[in-house]
A and B are shown apart, each in its own frame.
Chain A
């Protein structure tokens, strides 16, 4: 499948570029160039005040870079040996990277969340390939099922609160409104530069130096193809060797839950017409209702929404 092309590309590289350390998968310079290209593509794709055609071009560039990268890796793999790297690896990896790319570059937050779900699914697939089925399932259930749903809830909450539905338009008007801060990204060049610098370094380390990082004298244990259900093994391991950590994890979750509740407390006042959720800006309303503002006097307490704690010092305005 175009292996001739790839072979020629490789020989071209071998001729033109200076030799890399033995054991490298890819020449570091090549990594740099690819990262640069991908970076340019990302920058173009990030939300910004330019025409969408540019974004499309950027996407294409990023895509192309990714494909080249993958091809090179695959080619190298073909040289060395396969070792359980079937086509599913490529599919899942590609989906994951694509999803991540769209998370970062899409204008609408809801779409970002959804693309994140895609990434999670792809990761789960990768986990399955790596014989971590329980993790895969856990990922899907916890991440995609709980965390991302929460994210989407909050996105909708925020969108609804800031732009009331414009009259005459569809009910989804608030959600379809694209806010300014979503359309313009901050310092895309610098951020991309730095991010890709780091990524390039990581890749370089992985591809170029990892042979030295993990010395060849230390070999991983031979894994036989026959494996008991890893879920069972994992369960046994967790409950026996990592029991304390497990319990601690539960404790963390409990505390987090309590913290979340405390942070987002709101004051509800029961009036004749029923319980009323107080907003802090409704000072006149509160005064009219004849409710006194109480908020305690501890200057360090987390403010409860709807109360007025006089002891809390206002943050000095600039």
Chain B
């Protein structure tokens, strides 16, 4: 596979967006101005082309593999490549013994798990190209490209236009690094990079204090997760002597992910580490993918411009956690408590966020909580040993969530910054194209039958149900809630009598309103310019059809199965839980039995439709009903509207004490340290003053007295 051009030039995939970002950043202010999107379009576009060619190339290559038993079992090394770009970090150890992995006698990590004491710490920058990677790459760059096209129309006229696109390019670069990384350190680089870009982009409207606070919050909460993540990486290195995923290649057992499968030859320390690594790594996943308790940043992150919400907080960045867990499947799967934790946290977050979304009135906030909830679904999938389902849902979710966010952006533009759905209604006449597109997105999100979200969500629910009935029930209920609040939003905003907001420019009263440069709202203004609609159409097509990636033939699953990450985790799962207890299909493997969950599909379809029906009842037929119901259950309503007061708890239990501590330290700094410094300046002046007052009075006789006194003392010293 090395002969693929895309593989040879794989380093271009992250580089091109970076170069675009640099050009936009440096030349955008004075030179490019409102044309700053071009470097990014070109960079991301070429990157997307390369990713696509990579995907097609690998698929093609795979298709030409010889089949055995009706299925191909190629050697893992044949289908996945570690393409080294350059040696990034080479530290410590005896560098004279540095050779590539696997060289005789100089293994960094030997097969028996002990670390070669002479080995230096090596991190090579390079790409790990396997099926999982190319799928993620296609999603990231493809959807990224669509969103950058949309953003050029959305952000038109903004003062910091170039800044936006530069950051966007930087983000794509970081995300690609994250996805393509062939070692944990590069993964961490991408991880932090997307966190940084998230901060920069959320705080794009930095003049708004709410935006600044939201950016800080995102960064800090992410940092907490990243701390655990870093600890996990360090523990991995200590245990296996390498941070590389697969070292010289799959099958050579020189990488951490493969070494983790050799449970029989593990030292005591390694098996201990294997018990803890997943928990540490999942902290990072929870932070990045906004699971409980580290989800609080995502709703606030809606302060950023809508394309940012779409790209970063719906399609790509927040999925990094899921991706990481799937990639490092071999570290997680064998650890039953860890998998249980992931599943439970995911499930809890899903239903938790869904309930909050019921009483949110801000368009973007509804979708933000919806994202949190859907990410919970993905985590549940991964936790119940169905990584393929998780990735499948990731893909479909990327499409329809981006579609939904961008459509909200169009609505917001049209409503001149107003996002409170209580303030407007019945926009189907004003925004016809958007209405249809959003409808498609809502159908996908709700899991309406035969639309993409249905298939992916059904797989997850099925896997959860098979794993444990209560879990399945929770997921079903959450699916119901999802359908309900999604269509609550749709019916409220697009259907019904047309109500437009009376005070258009009331942006300051609204917490998540974009600042808006347009002033005119006449009917001649095109609310749906082509540049914004075309990407939406593309996304809508994806939202509709992406479901058929994995249905009915498990094509995606079979494709992904060849990824060493997934294949090896399947082996680990089989070893740990027994062949019969693991659904081989969920790893993309061969179907061992018929889908016993066919009936579950029907049930989830019905649930989705009933959710839609309930929303129709409450928000179209009888619009006063929701408020009456809310007043009836005022306690619950208050709880939901207060978002369970999690933010307040955090603020008072963690933030305020730290602030006070900081203030105390500041006082110490002011009084003690500043005091010392002041004294340093004060003492010479005081001495000078004293000397001046005592010895330099101007009296001649005083001077004489001083001299005589000195002589007397000298005599005393000499003679006594």
Contact = CB atoms under 8 A, between A and B. Distances in A.
Interface of A: 186-187, 190-191, 194-195, 197-198, 201-202, 204-205, 209
Contact of B705 (A194, A204, A205, A209): A194
Contact of A186 (B699, B708, B712, B716): B699
Contacts of B708: 194-195, 198
Contacts of A195: 708
Nearest to A204: B719
B715 interface: yes
B709 interface: yes
B624 interface: no
26 contacts: A186-B699, A186-B701, A187-B701, A187-B702, A187-B705, A190-B705, A191-B701, A194-B705, A194-B708, A194-B712, A195-B708, A197-B709, A197-B712, A198-B708, A198-B709, A198-B711, A198-B712, A198-B715, A201-B712, A201-B716, A201-B719, A202-B715, A204-B720, A205-B715, A205-B719, A209-B719
B719 to A, nearest CB: 5
Interface in B684-720: 699, 701-702, 705, 708-709, 711-712, 715-716, 719-720
Contact of A201 (B701, B702, B705, B715): B715
B700 to A, nearest CB: 10
Question: Which of A187, A194, A209 has the most C-beta atoms of chain B within 10 angstroms of its own C-beta?
Answer: A194
Which 9 pairs across A and B sit closest by C-beta, in order of nearness? Answer: A198-B712, A201-B715, A197-B712, A194-B709, A194-B705, A201-B712, A194-B708, A205-B719, A198-B708
Given A187-B705, A201-B712, 10 more contacts: A187-B701, A187-B702, A190-B705, A194-B709, A197-B709, A201-B715, A204-B720, A205-B715, A205-B719, A209-B719
Nearest to B707: A194
Nearest to A318: B698
A209 B720 CA distance: 9
B657 to A, nearest CB: 59
A312 B709 CA distance: 37
Nearest to B720: A204
Nearest to A212: B719
Interface string B532-558: 000000000000000000000000000
A158 B701 CA distance: 21
A195 B716 CA distance: 14
Nearest to B698: A318
A32 to B, nearest CB: 12
Contacts of B709: 194, 197-198
A201 B712 CA distance: 7
Contacts of B715: 198, 201-202, 205
Contacts of A186: 699, 701
A58 to B, nearest CB: 20
A198 B719 CA distance: 13
A194 B711 CA distance: 10
Contacts of B701: 186-187, 191
Contacts of A187: 701-702, 705
Contacts of A191: 701, 705
A253 to B, nearest CB: 26
Contacts of A205: 715, 719
Interface string B623-644: 0000000000000000000000
B564 to A, nearest CB: 91
A102 B709 CA distance: 23
Contacts of B719: 201, 204-205, 209
Nearest to B718: A205
Contacts of A197: 709, 712
Nearest to B701: A186
A198 B701 CA distance: 16
A260 B570 CA distance: 118
B703 to A, nearest CB: 12
Interface in B432-490: none
B406 to A, nearest CB: 80
Contacts of B699: 186
Question: Which of A197, A204, A209 has the most C-beta atoms of chain B within 10 angstroms of its own C-beta?
Answer: A197
Contacts of B705: 187, 190-191, 194
Nearest to B716: A201
A29 to B, nearest CB: 12
B353 to A, nearest CB: 80
Contacts of B720: 204
A186 B703 CA distance: 13
A205 B702 CA distance: 25
A209 to B, nearest CB: 5
A205 B715 CA distance: 9
A171 B374 CA distance: 122
B221 to A, nearest CB: 67
A149 B702 CA distance: 29
B211 to A, nearest CB: 62
A110 B199 CA distance: 95
Nearest to B714: A201
A106 to B, nearest CB: 18
Contacts of B702: 187
A228 B65 CA distance: 143
Contacts of B711: 198
Contacts of A198: 708-709, 711-712, 715
Nearest to A28: B720
A208 to B, nearest CB: 8
A305 B305 CA distance: 90
A198 B707 CA distance: 11
Contacts of A209: 719
A209 B719 CA distance: 8
Question: Which of A190, A195, A198 has the most C-beta atoms of chain B within 10 angstroms of its own C-beta?
Answer: A198
A259 B83 CA distance: 101
A200 B719 CA distance: 12
A186 B705 CA distance: 11
A28 B557 CA distance: 112
A191 B705 CA distance: 6
A20 to B, nearest CB: 13
A89 B75 CA distance: 129
A190 B697 CA distance: 15
B461 to A, nearest CB: 96
A2 B400 CA distance: 130
Nearest to A202: B715
A135 B332 CA distance: 117
Contacts of A202: 715
A209 B716 CA distance: 12
Nearest to B699: A186
A186 B702 CA distance: 9
Contacts of A194: 705, 708-709, 712
Contacts of B716: 201
A205 B711 CA distance: 13
A198 B716 CA distance: 9
A308 B531 CA distance: 94
A195 B706 CA distance: 11
Nearest to A195: B708
Interface string B359-377: 0000000000000000000
A198 B709 CA distance: 7
B187 to A, nearest CB: 75
A202 B718 CA distance: 12
A130 B215 CA distance: 103
Interface in B217-232: none
